Amino acid sequence: MRAMVTPEFGPPDLFEERDVPKPEPGPGEVLVRVVAAGTNPIDAKLRADGSFAGLEPPVVLGADVSGVVEETGPGVEDFTPGDEVYYTPEIFGPGSNGAYAEYNVAAADIVAKKPASLSHEEAAAVPLAGGTAYEALVRRLGLTVGETVLIHGGAGGVGSFAVQIARAAGARVIASAGPDNQETLRTLGADQQLDYTNGDVAQTTLEATAGEGVDAVLDCVGGTTIVESIAATRPFGRLATILGAQGDLTPLYVNNQTLYGVLLLRERARLDALTRLAERGRVKPLVEEVLDLSRVGEAHERLDSGHGRGKLVLRVAEA
């Protein structure tokens, strides 16, 4: 089968198109013909050096799949050949990743029926980024109707889903992004848009909440963002980061605040929840561009820049 292979760890231009063996589903697994594959910042990190995740080149990367069930392994009763599905493969260890190829094998219990309202290209943008946003806002931060949330990086892959999910939860959304993405934040539904290059986001957030601070913060940027956001969060408030925190976290304790680290675990239930949101028109993937699989190196160059809007998706085959 056709696949874009990472022959060694390194820069975006190292991908090679190769003919690799077509996988076979084992017990509890499904073989999926990949129609579209999403790209994510974690893909770029693994390409640069995936040894931390237990990967050894050559490897086929890719952690977002939308496609069609080709074959089911023993014990699989939830799917039949021809079902349109989407999911995010595991990213750690042997047998992980694999979306940048014509076929992929996955455990059936992490696979879900694709939303009928979304194309394969749109659906491929959802599982990892949308699932991470859902995990952070709904399960960890427990965002509720009437609360106010500050979302850093609101125009990116995870952030664009987070803004929409927060609105669907009935929260007031304050979101930050660069100057070129302010209109994107408005389109996504943010109640207030902040340009992180123009002024102090934490101070502006405090002013927007009459000095009380937000109920919750989601950091999709990393670095010192969480530490800088503590002052913009009310006492007993909640904060979550998908990229880790740098700096002095002592003020968290002073203010009785809670900090969550979020790493997405694979499961069907979360995708089913995202499907319901998509079918009701509450969440729509922000796809910046769809590229042919052969242009994966170009997609990774843009991932490395760190200034994308929404998701870049690879078209692997026709539906």
DSSP-derived pairing of the beta strands 287-292 and 311-315? parallel
Distance (Å, whole) CA 135 – CA 145: 17
What φ, ψ does residue 153 adopt, rounded to 5°?
Answer: 80, 40
The average pLDDT across 129-137 equals 98
Alpha-carbon distance values, 282 to 41, 161, 194 (Å): 25, 10, 23
Same-domain pairing of 103 and 179: no
**What digits encode the pLDDT tens for the residues 49-65?**
999 999 999 999 999 99
Same-domain pairing of 72 and 21: yes
Residue 280 within any structural domain of the chain: no
The average pLDDT across 251-265 equals 96
> In this structure, what CATH number is given to the domain that contains residue 106?
3.90.180.10
Same-domain pairing of 138 and 252: yes
Statement: the pTM of the whole predicted model exceeds 0.85: yes
Q: Of 285, 300, 286, which Cα lies nearest the Cα of 181? A: 286
The average pLDDT across 120-141 equals 98
Same-domain pairing of 11 and 108: yes
| DSSP reduced 3-state for 136 | helix
Confidence at residue 305, expressed as pLDDT on a 0 to 100 scale? 87
Confidence at residue 130, expressed as pLDDT on a 0 to 100 scale? 98
Same-domain pairing of 112 and 160: no
Same-domain pairing of 151 and 254: yes
State percent of the chain over pLDDT 70.
Answer: 100
Task: State which residues form the domain around 213.
Answer: 132-261
Beta strands in 88-241 (DSSP E): 103-107, 112-113, 148-152, 172-177, 192-195, 214-219, 233-241
Confidence at residue 308, expressed as pLDDT on a 0 to 100 scale? 74
Same-domain pairing of 215 and 101: no
Confidence at residue 83, expressed as pLDDT on a 0 to 100 scale? 98
Same-domain pairing of 146 and 107: no
Average per-residue pLDDT for the chain: 97
Same-domain pairing of 11 and 119: yes
Same-domain pairing of 298 and 243: no
Residue 274 within any structural domain of the chain: no
> Is the CB of residue 182 less than 8 Å from the CB of residue 193?
yes
Residue 20 within any structural domain of the chain: yes
**What digits encode the pLDDT tens for the residues 259-289?**
999 999 999 999 999 999 999 999 999 999 9
Residue 15 within any structural domain of the chain: yes
Predicted confidence (pLDDT) at residue 43 exceeds the cutoff of 80: yes
Predicted confidence (pLDDT) at residue 298 exceeds the cutoff of 80: yes
The tally of domains found in the chain comes to 2
> In this structure, what CATH number is given to the domain that contains residue 182?
3.40.50.720
Confidence at residue 44, expressed as pLDDT on a 0 to 100 scale? 97
Same-domain pairing of 81 and 143: no
